[in-house]
A = this chain, B = another copy of it.
């Protein structure tokens, strides 16, 4: 037998450990980048954790003024150094416990600080990937400052104008000592990604392996232009009526009604003149559901959006599956995320094949996706940071349009119901082999 088989099916991680070290002045979106990188990696089942040095510093100095960040303030310097050391110590402990990608969220704005972190990581067998966000567009910086003064615990309960002024002062303290990475050409041995003005230009230096390349490709595709993603399942299908899974059947009469109503729901949510691109799977029921949408919407079919392949169980009811494959039925209940249908797929497999879809979604503006229950659960889990153990059990009702809008600190959700009755296609864990009404916690 081979010494080591990685059956994570496509996510090659092996023994790599990576410390993503954020670099940049305050208000350059570092925490936003850290947060979505962590979300993306966790969605791919890669253990990822952010260590925010500011959170450690707040233990000692909960609401410091700008003076605290002056390099001539010895007390401030000492506390900030102690915070960095505490964050790094926790991070190393986390790596020893099986962590794969840690994100060290701090300004790390001097060469000395970067050298210190680099040397600690290298000594511990951890690869270092510096990710700098460099930005000189005032509009972007001011938007970040508004965000910080509204959400940072450093300014909680303070006058917004005074907070903004103090924060600008703090930034100017950092500007005095800040060096962009490899500014003097003596940091060119580091692996780094430098993102200028939110992706207008990126510099990638010495990327070594697969995991680094994945993180870099993801981060270079991000943008912050406002946009939304709309999700809908296909209208009720003939197989839904029979309680059968999979297949490639047409819409039921009520599913047809939903297809005719979908353009109204979309108009209500999107508005009239916002251009929308529509993605469907290659299966009849999603294409039919999208067919009454406005003619000027581009439509694309993606095989990667096809329903989870249930292999030998395709076309069966849950009762038939339970009767014919009782062990499989129980095993799937036990670990629905990892259970792979014989000759078919697991949720984990679906996530892997959806990864290019997520990458495209991150690159894109407004998109409407008409797809299937399991696929929608996986996409929803990405945006809403849902736990993999729970997301396969989530109820996604038929005949409902979901609007997701990514924001700096999470994703907003609005649901639009078509008010067209449909069967339930939801089944609870450990329940009878029947579709049933969803329980409150599945919503």
Contact = CB atoms under 8 A, between A and B. Distances in A.
Interface of A: 1-7, 9-10, 12, 14, 188, 199-207, 210, 213, 217, 220-221, 247-248, 278, 282, 290-291, 293, 295-304, 309, 314, 340, 342-343, 345, 349, 352-353, 355-356, 360, 363
Contact of A353 (B12, B14, B353, B363): B353
A289 B360 CA distance: 36
Given A7-B301, A314-B343, A204 B202 contact: yes
Nearest to A298: B4
A132 B213 CA distance: 21
Contacts of A296: 3
A301 B3 contact: no
B2 A278 contact: yes
A137 to B, nearest CB: 13
List the 8 closest A-B pairs by CB distance, nearest first: A2-B299, A3-B295, A201-B205, A9-B303, A202-B204, A5-B299, A203-B203, A7-B301
B363 A302 contact: no
Contacts of A297: 2-3
A298 B15 CA distance: 11
A345 B303 contact: yes
A199 B206 CA distance: 7
A228 to B, nearest CB: 19
Nearest to A299: B2
Contacts of A343: 247-248, 314
Nearest to A9: B303
24 contacts: A1-B291, A2-B291, A2-B295, A2-B299, A3-B296, A4-B299, A5-B300, A6-B298, A6-B299, A9-B282, A9-B302, A10-B304, A188-B201, A200-B205, A200-B206, A201-B203, A201-B204, A201-B206, A210-B360, A303-B349, A303-B353, A309-B309, A355-B356, A356-B356
